[in-house]
Amino acid sequence: MSINTGSTVRTDELGPESEGAQPTTEQTTTAPATRERPSAPAGRGLLDRVFSISLRGSTVSREIRGGLVTFFTMAYIVILNPLILGGFNAATAPTDVTGAFLPAAQVGAVTGLTAGVLTILFGIFANLPFGLAAGLGINSFLAVAVVKDVSWPEAMGLVVINGVLIVLFGVTGARTAIFRAVPRELKAAITVGIGLFIAFIGFVDSGFVRGTQAGPPVQLGHDGSITTLPTLVFIVGLILMGILVARKIQGGILIGIVATTLLAMGVEAIWHIGAGGPNNPDGWHLNTPVLSGQLVSIPDLSLVGHFDLFGAFGRIGLLAGITLVFTLVFTNFFDAMGTMTGLAKSAGVADKDGTFPRLKSAFIIEGFGAVLGGANSGSSNTVYIDSAAGIGEGARTGLASVVTGALFLGSMFLTPLTSVVPLEVASAALVVVGTMMAGQIREIDFTKFDIALPSFLTIVTMPLTYSIANGIGAGFITWVVIRAASGKARQIHPLMWVVAAGFIVYFVRGPLGHLIGAGA
């Protein structure tokens, strides 16, 4: 992924889908250590021709394996999204302004349905190995802030409007234009920042890093020590995957996930740790690695179409509604742009300036993820940084996404199997992949401080604020201000000024909203 093997790819090899690449530009890619680039065979099969598999230096088996890894790394969302948006009764679920709540089982069903459909569409039309599912930032924002003032159907209507706007940005080319305006160094910084971000997520979700009541914001385990078996399982998985990847074992990450899951199941069978919580701080972070008696269930899709497009504006007013939509659009727009930048670079399909094949199609389908996610009451769906795990396993084309999407559709019927992989195991894969992505830092010239500071702020702000959009905003603003003050204003793309100004508004939207009486 981000380990340079010295191989090169010509963007004209990417075929007719290379709408975002210069057709004769040769680029140095960062192919993963787990593969070597084969030459295109003379008699290519149907899947190979449709997805340009051999032309991207991959194989069908590698794409299938990568799709499996991406699914197992993302599968936690089928469990987590219902816990954030829904519950089993009004006492355990976030209730809206009317006192209503979303049933957890129904949220889980639409989560798998929406993720499956979108990821398959993305694989077919964008031909990139990215998985899509409900975005954790936006679903939390809806559950914590938005439904205090509107109903759940009205909140999902705002998500749909947000998605329509993002699709329009993609169709008109505005999103592509902004993407092209971002300097190469900032795109590299975004990749590195995402790498640190997903590694930090892995550390936190595994219990390896925890918050403190006093003293430093975070610490190692409990009181500076590893004290729980789930965290130990994470460490074993991390070391195992690291060894397999270092030794260039085909399927190293997938082998590590399967082996560590079996270890976790054994640990649970012997010690009966159980799910973590206030009364069991040493338990598994999200799901317990056990198989229940019932493996198959019929999904309840009652939430499909359960949204109110304009009801929120009637309830809270036009200005307050616009403020909420602005927040959703900004978060969706730049989180996804940053994530796709990093993943495309990791997959070795990006040009030197970060442009990747079928750029416009990717932006449109990702925007449609918000529309479909809101329409199905599962929250806005977006590209997942966890897809980097499948890319690290060798995935390079949309075939991997089709595999991931098919598994998400199957997850609606096989929730017990989906939940058997504990979050501690998925976290180990995220740390391994984050390490690979951090290698892009070599593309940033830190001897030039007008480049170094914006890049550094982009990198560190993402994990420290738990937001890709915040990191991009910090980098954009400082890039514009420092380079302009250094006499390089003419070198700044006009769109960078516009986006930087938008981020300033985004960062002060709280007090600005109160100032104009719209809330935030």
* Domain definitions of the chain by residue range: 46-515
Q: How far apart are CA 286 and CA 293, in angstroms?
A: 19
The residue among 56 and 4 whose pLDDT is bigger is: 56
pLDDT given for residue 141 in this prediction: 83
pLDDT higher than 90, residue 278: no
Q: At what angle do helices 252-271 and 60-74 cross, to 10 degrees?
A: 40
pLDDT given for residue 240 in this prediction: 97
Which whole number is the average pLDDT over 283-310? 89
* Phi then psi dihedrals of residue 229, to 5 deg: -65, -40
Find how far residue 13's CA is from the centre of its chain: 27
pLDDT given for residue 370 in this prediction: 97
Cβ pair 162, 139 in contact under 8 A: no
Cβ pair 492, 223 in contact under 8 A: no
pLDDT given for residue 490 in this prediction: 93
- Cross-strand partners of 133: 382
Does the pTM surpass 0.85? The reply is no
pLDDT band at 306 (very low <50, low <70, confident <90, very high): very high
The residue among 107 and 214 whose pLDDT is bigger is: 107
DSSP 8-state code for residue 59: -
The residue among 22 and 142 whose pLDDT is bigger is: 142
pLDDT given for residue 30 in this prediction: 40
User: Which of 100-104, 185-189, 317-321, 447-451 is the least confident region?
Assistant: 317-321
Let me know how long the chain is: 520
Q: How far apart are CA 256 and CA 244, in angstroms?
A: 8
What is the sign of the dihedral through the CA atoms of 347, 348, 354 and 359? negative
Q: How far apart are CA 47 and CA 51, in angstroms?
A: 6
pLDDT higher than 90, residue 283: yes
* Phi then psi dihedrals of residue 134, to 5 deg: -60, 125
pLDDT given for residue 5 in this prediction: 29
pLDDT given for residue 29 in this prediction: 37
Which whole number is the average pLDDT over 490-517? 85
